[in-house]
Amino acid sequence: MARKLAKQNPRTHPHNLTMNENPNPIPAILPRSAWESQIAYLWAVFQAKKALDEIERIQNEKT
User: Could you list the mean pLDDT of each consecutive 10-residue stretch along the chain, which spans 63 residues?
Assistant: 53 59 66 76 96 96 87
Instruction: Give residue 54's pLDDT.
Output: 97
Let me know if 5 is exposed, middle or buried by CB neighbors in 10 A (0-12, 13-18, 19+): middle
Which residues, other chains included, contact 31 with Cβ-Cβ below 8 Å and sequence gap of 6+?
A: 37, 40
Q: Where are the domains of the chain?
A: 31-63
Q: Which helix (H) or strand (E) segment is 60 a member of?
A: helix 34-62
> Model's pTM, two decimal places?
0.45
Nearest-angstrom CA–CA distance, 38 and 31: 10
Instruction: Give residue 30's pLDDT.
Output: 61
